[in-house]
Amino acid sequence: MPQASHRAGLVEHSSSWPLVPWSNRIAGGRFTWLGREHQLPTSPQDPHAIHGIGWRRAWTPIAGEPGSPTEASVRLVMTHTADDSWPFAFRAEQHIALTEHEERVTLELRLSVTNFDARPMPAGLGAHPYFARHAGTELCFRTRSAWEHDEQRLPTRLVPTPPELDFTQARGVHHAPFDRAFVGWERPALLIDRERGYQVRIDADPLFSRLIVYVPPDADHLAIEPVSHDTNAINAAPIQAGNIQAGLSSPDLLKSPEQLTAEQATARKTDFTSGGLKLLKPLQTLSGSMRFTCEPCGS
């Protein structure tokens, strides 16, 4: 991160940030949860709430055990009190470990969010790392489908991965800019720099079932983001139908399956899976890890 950007607090100029307690965009910053409407802050630069709130908050480092000569790590914690930026209280943690083994260096990022609110909370996780890119940079990963989106980058239709976005075989990423969310990617994804003789192997727990790839025009970088849910998943129809049409209230969401009607049980199951977004009961934690390994090409 450039020092001038750091001094100015321009977090968007950093090379990576956590996505917590949700990722990417919420349309217009608005959503309805358990029958109540919420409006999150937006900005003149983007009409939607974006990237959660953890990327713009201070995190507190927590002292840990001394590392070995080949490992360094840090644990960061953030506690949020419910406010206009996010109407649920939560605690989030990042555990970042850097390990060297022969010719490989692995950065592991473990993220977690715990619902500290008295109500069930929608939640998701992800990371937004940037990587160096030049004319010879290649990308390789396999995926089932991709979201089409409108001019505001909101998803409109899930389609089989189109040929122009098929990276099953390694191919360059410098020709055409794009910003797309892929569903069902197979691990690992590879970012290959044959000119310098290395590749970055990107792996993640099953929680991170979506992969967002952002290749900006005329830039020397790109973003490859493992995330847990679709863009604007909180406004997906199944979630709203599950909560409102089946009459699920906050107490209903805390009941055991045996205490619910068949319709409510189906709705609650949908609520846990729709678009990948999760529902956290009070004091419940969502967590997952991702790993970025820099190694020689062809390893």
Asked whether residue 259 is assigned to any structural domain, the reply reads no
Rg of the chain on CA atoms, in Å: 20
**Cβ 209 vs Cβ 251: under 8 Å:** no
How many domains would you assign to the chain? 1
**Cβ 54 vs Cβ 113: under 8 Å:** no
**Nearest-CA neighbor of 113 among 102, 104, 124?**
124
Asked whether residue 61 is assigned to any structural domain, the reply reads yes
Report the distance separating Cα 173 and Cα 193, nearest Å: 11
CA angle centred on 219, ends 214 and 222, rounded to 5°: 30
At 284-293, the pLDDT tens digits run 999 999 999 9
pLDDT(250) > 60: no
Greatest CA separation found in the chain? 61
pLDDT of the residue at 197: 94
Band of the pLDDT at 263, cuts 50, 70, 90? low
Asked whether residue 267 is assigned to any structural domain, the reply reads no
pLDDT of the residue at 275: 85
Report the distance separating Cα 145 and Cα 138, nearest Å: 20
Q: Tell me the whole-structure pTM to 2 decimals.
A: 0.86
Band of the pLDDT at 272, cuts 50, 70, 90? very low
Asked whether residue 248 is assigned to any structural domain, the reply reads no
Range of the domain at 132: 3-236+277-296
Report the distance separating Cα 293 and Cα 107, nearest Å: 6
Q: What is the CATH number of the domain that holds 120?
A: 2.70.98.10
Asked whether residue 135 is assigned to any structural domain, the reply reads yes
Least confident stretch, 14-18, 203-207, 262-266: 262-266
Q: What is the mean pLDDT of residues 88-95?
A: 97
Least confident stretch, 9-13, 180-184, 223-227, 240-244: 240-244
Under 8 Å CB-to-CB from 24, ≥6 apart: which residues? 50, 51, 126, 181, 212, 227, 231, 232
pLDDT of the residue at 43: 87
Asked whether residue 29 is assigned to any structural domain, the reply reads yes
Asked whether residue 215 is assigned to any structural domain, the reply reads yes
Average pLDDT over the chain, rounded to an integer: 87
